[in-house]
């Protein structure tokens, strides 16, 4: 699973990428510093692991990870290949979700205009994709009338894009989901808008009216907005752990904004974590929301999936309330689940299997 960080040139996306991943990718005041995609695995902060470690005293703790991609900056005309447009569009097609960085370093910043600039380019690229698909469906319909429905459905979606609305949120019947997914539309990807403020503006961000307008626009398309000061987060990411804790205490925070953003991005990609705990290791495992127990078992080892018998599951909150796995079992809070069990975020699991 990959999350692509996108935005106009000099919006601070590479600084944010460095802050979130601990990387040292090159940044510059000049546009198009990012030419090749920067890639890094990000550790997903999870306080539940520390709590389980206190209970089991494991030899090691392993966090879940997600892959972040810092893509080349987009400019007007990208859909026609201008700037690094072709490289940008190719990169964004390969990611599962989008973190769209909007720059707000001064009072003259226009985050709504910048959002619209990127949205238009993505819509134009999607219209070109749909035009090709519609033409193929109409040609195929001459011999097979069933393709008329495909052409009609994609035509309705094209009209939506023409009106400036993204493909995500398009009201489609469940049986049409696979068809729409096969189009691989850029505006169908889940998105989180990240407003990158200067340090001064970040302190009074709630007074910034364009932020409220952006929140309303994002809500209308089923997206969210996250304000941040990427430069500050980058500085925090470079601090020693003890210095970071003192700094956060001084500003009245329990964690940095970057950690909250990483968790939001993890959720944005439709990911959850199940947990395993014991003396050898306490670990968070990444799975897609909706995954069933055998699929989760396969994340640990394919033999566990093949020989799956059952899953012994305790909700993290219940386990903490009881104080130990044995106490949770005594109180009947450890459930025995079979193959059809849909995993939940925070499930603490022991898989039983036989190969």
Residue 110, φ and ψ in degrees, nearest 5: -125, 85
Region of residue 218 (phi > 0: left; psi between -120 and 50: alpha; otherwise: beta): alpha
For the chain, percent of residues with pLDDT exceeding 90: 61
Query: Which contiguous run of DSSP H or E holds residue 68?
Result: strand 65-70
* Rounded CA separation 161/163 (Å): 5
pLDDT for 25 equals 62
Query: Would the pLDDT of 128 be above 50?
Result: yes
pTM: 0.83
Which range among 30-39, 141-150, 210-219, 297-306 shows the weakest confidence by mean pLDDT? 30-39
Please say whether the beta carbons of 306 and 346 come within 8 A.
no
Tell me the range of 94-98, 215-219, 294-298 where mean pLDDT is highest. Answer: 294-298
36-82 tens-digit pLDDT: 788 998 889 999 999 999 999 999 999 998 889 998 777 666 555 55
Mean pLDDT within 322-330: 96
The whole-number pLDDT of residue 249 equals: 87
Contact 42, 68 (CB under 8 A): yes
- For the ranges 20-24, 58-62, 263-267, which has the lowest average pLDDT? 20-24
> Would you list the DSSP string of 228-279?
E-HHHHHHHHTS-HHHHHHHHHHTT-SS-HHHHHHHHHHHHTTEEEEEEESS
Please list the helix, strand and coil fractions of the chain in percent, rounded to the nearest 5, in that order.
Answer: 45, 20, 30
What is the DSSP code (8-state) at residue 164?
T
C-alpha 149/C-alpha 129 separation (Å) is 18
C-alpha torsion sign, points 227, 213, 218, 155: negative
| The pLDDT value given to residue 1 | 77
Average pLDDT of the residues of the chain:
89
106 phi and psi angles, rounded to 5 deg:
-155, 170
| Domains by residue range for the chain, with CATH | 2-45+64-112+188-268 (3.40.50.300), 113-187 (1.10.150.300), 290-353 (3.10.20.30)
Sheet of strand 38-43: strand arrangement: 38-43, 65-70, 2-6, 97-104, 191-197, 224-228
């Amino acid at each position: 699973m990959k999350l692509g960080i996108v935005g106009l040139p000099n919006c601070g996306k590479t600084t944010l990428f460095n802050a979130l991943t601990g990387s040292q990718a090159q940044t510059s005041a000049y546009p198009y510093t990012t030419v090749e995609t920067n890639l890094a695995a990000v550790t997903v902060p999870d306080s539940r692991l520390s709590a389980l470690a206190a209970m089991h005293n494991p030899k090691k703790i392993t966090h879940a990870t997600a892959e972040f991609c810092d893509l080349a900056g987009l400019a007007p005309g990208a859909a026609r290949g201008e700037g690094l447009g072709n490289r940008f569009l190719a990169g964004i097609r390969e990611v599962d979700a989008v973190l769209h960085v909007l720059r707000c370093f001064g009072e003259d910043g226009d985050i709504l205009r910048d959002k619209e600039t990127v949205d238009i380019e993505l819509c134009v690229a999607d219209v070109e994709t749909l035009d090709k698909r519609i033409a193929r469906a109409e040609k195929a319909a001459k011999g097979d009338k069933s393709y008329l429905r495909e052409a009609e459905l994609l035509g309705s979606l094209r009209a939506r894009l023409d009106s400036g609305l993204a493909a995500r949120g398009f009201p489609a019947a469940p049986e049409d989901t696979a068809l729409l997914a096969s189009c691989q539309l850029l505006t169908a990807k889940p998105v989180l808008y990240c407003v990158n403020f200067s340090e001064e503006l970040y302190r009074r961000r709630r007074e910034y009216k364009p932020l409220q307008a952006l929140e309303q626009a994002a809500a209308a398309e089923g997206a969210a907005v996250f304000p941040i000061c990427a430069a500050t987060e980058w500085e925090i990411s470079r601090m020693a752990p003890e210095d970071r804790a003192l700094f956060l205490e001084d500003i009245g925070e329990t964690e940095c904004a970057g950690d909250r953003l990483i968790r939001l991005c993890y959720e944005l990609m439709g990911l959850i974590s199940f947990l395993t705990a014991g003396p050898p290791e306490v670990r968070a495992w990444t799975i897609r929301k909706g995954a069933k127990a055998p699929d989760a078992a396969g994340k640990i080892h394919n033999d566990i999936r093949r020989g799956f018998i059952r899953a012994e599951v305790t909700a993290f909150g219940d386990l903490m309330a009881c104080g130990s796995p044995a106490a949770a079992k005594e109180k009947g809070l450890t459930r025995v689940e079979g193959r059809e069990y849909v995993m939940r975020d925070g499930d603490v699991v022991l898989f039983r299997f036989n190969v």
